[in-house]
Amino acid sequence: MISRIKGTLSQVSDSSAVVENGGVFYRIMVPSALADRLKDNGQIGQEISFDTIYYIEAGDRKSNHYPRLVGFTDPIDREFFSLFTQVPGLGVKKALRSLVLPIKDIATAIENKDASTLGQLPGVGGRLAEKIIAELNGKTAKFALSRADQPLANTKTSATAAPFQEDALEVLLQLQYKPNEARLMIDSAVKANPKIGSAEDLISFIFRNEQKGLSGS
C-alpha cells in the first residue's frame, strides 16, 4: 500500500496533483481548497510530500475498477479522512467534497452530536449526518483539538458540479484542455443533454459534439 509520496509537484488541477518521483508521475486526488493553496503558494516545481490513501474505485461498468490515490499535506488530515470514510454511504469523492469546514469543526460537530452542522456539508444531509455521529462519536476528539483552521474543500466547487462532471473534468485536464475550456465543454454538454449521468457518457457526448463541429467547419 502506498502511504506517502515525496517528489516534485509538477501539476495541480482543481481536484488533483501530479508528483514526479524518479521519472514516475503519480496523480493524486486532493481536496479543492488544498489544490488552490498549492497553486497560490507557488509550490509547483517544488519538492512536496503527500500522506496518501490508496483505494480501488469502481467504474461505470461492473468490470471496470481503477486504483486511486488521495493525498494530504498534513498526516492528521489523512488520518481523519481515513476514519471519516469508514462511514457507510460516505464514499471517497463525496467525503472530499464535504470538507468545506475545518476538520476540527467537523470533528467537534461529531463529538457534540450536532447533526444540523454535519447535515449542511455538501452531499451529507440529515440521514447521513446521523449515521456519521452513530459511527464516529467518541472517536474524533483528538481532531477537534486541532489548531488548523482552514477548510480542505471549497464551497463553490463542492456544491455546483455532480461527481461524474468532476470526473469528466479530470479526464479533459489530462488531455491538456485548459480548465475554463473544459468546464465550458462540460456545461454545454449537460445543458444539451440533462439526462447524462456518468463521466463516460459525458465524454462520449462531448466527443460527438466536437466531431460535429469539425464536420461543419
Place of cell 491538456: 176
Q: Report yes or no: 99 and 85 within 8 Å, Cβ to Cβ.
A: no
Of 170 and 75, which is predicted with more confidence?
A: 75
Buried b (16+ CB within 10 A) or exposed e, 106-134: bbbbbbeeebebbbebbbbeeebbebbbe
pLDDT, tens only, 171-188: 887 787 887 788 889 988
Q: Give yes or no for residue 217 having a pLDDT over 60.
A: no
DSSP character at residue 80: H
Q: What is the dihedral of CA 151, 107, 134, 114, to 10 degrees?
A: -90
Look at residue 200 in the predicted model and tell me its pLDDT.
Answer: 87
Residue with cell 483552521: 149
CATH topology of domain 4-160: OB fold (Dihydrolipoamide Acetyltransferase, E2P) (2.40.50)
Q: To the nearest whole percent, how much of the chain has pLDDT over 90?
A: 52
The 10s digit of each residue's pLDDT in 10-69 is: 989 888 899 999 999 999 999 999 999 998 888 899 999 999 999 887 765 555 677 889
Q: Answer whether 65's CB lies under 8 Å from 59's CB.
A: yes
pLDDT of residue 66: 76
| Residue 4 reports pLDDT greater than 80 | yes
Q: 99 and 31 in contact (C-beta within 8 Å)?
A: yes
Which phi and psi angles does 10 have, rounded to 5°?
Answer: -100, -25
Is the pTM of the predicted complex or chain greater than 0.85? no
Q: How far apart are CA 210 and CA 3, in angstroms?
A: 40
Query: Which of 16-30, 69-83, 152-166 shows the lowest per-residue confidence on average (mean pLDDT)?
Result: 152-166
- Does 70 or 197 have the greater pLDDT score? 70
